[in-house]
Copies of this chain bind each other. A is one copy, B any other.
């Protein structure tokens, strides 16, 4: 590509590093941005700079926000004595969208992984244990993904919490609401059968 397009190529290369975009879709996105310079490209540049400047992880729970401590941790209403432990901020957002949990969160920032050499101290597990006493927590809800690493992490945390006088629970497993059996994997069907309830 010609010399004057170095800027454009640099932008495409950066865009292609976003999850879900490859070189081709990054090119398409950049051309779209160039066409919508005023309505989309400049606002996006500004929004990125704003978020980069203002947003930071909450020192308490690991959620992202604009202050030292996030809004959820600041809210007295949410001091219900329950902490919901999630892997990632995306999971926290998913819980918040469901509007069913009124307590606080703890974002681990990943899962334990022998392969990737992620140990308890690489996650925010020590900080979780420290919060238990300080915030008068009665229940820790483990809302970790049902992957091998997620479940390993859940077991590790449950072990650590033993004898600390807190209830440790995890999300129920079963058939998703609106889910069709035909499209479910065997593991889910097995778990749903094992946890069957009388109607």
Interfacial residues, chain A to chain B (CB-CB below 8 A): 1-5, 7-8, 10-11, 14-15, 17-21, 25, 27-34, 37, 40-52, 54-55, 64-67, 70-72, 88-90, 93, 96
Chain A interface helix/strand/loop/mixed: helix
* A15 nearest CB neighbor, chain B only: B44
| Cβ 8 A contact of A33, one of B7, B18, B25, B41 | B18
So how many copies of this chain end up in the complex?
A: 2
Q: Which residues of B contact A41 (CB under 8 A)?
A: 48, 51-52
Q: Counting chain B CB atoms within 10 Å of each CB, which of A8, A42, A71 scores highest?
A: A8
Q: Counting chain B CB atoms within 10 Å of each CB, which of A15, A45, A72 scores highest?
A: A45
Inter-subunit contact A29/B19 (CB<8 Å): yes
Q: Which residues of B contact A27 (CB under 8 A)?
A: 90, 93
Inter-subunit contact A51/B3 (CB<8 Å): no
Expressed in whole angstroms, the Cα–Cα distance for A30 and B47 within the complex equals 11
| Cβ 8 A contact of A34, one of B4, B7, B46, B51 | B51
Q: Which residues of B contact A21 (CB under 8 A)?
A: 20-21, 29
Q: A19-B29, A70-B2 are in contact. Are A52 and B37 (CB under 8 A)?
A: yes
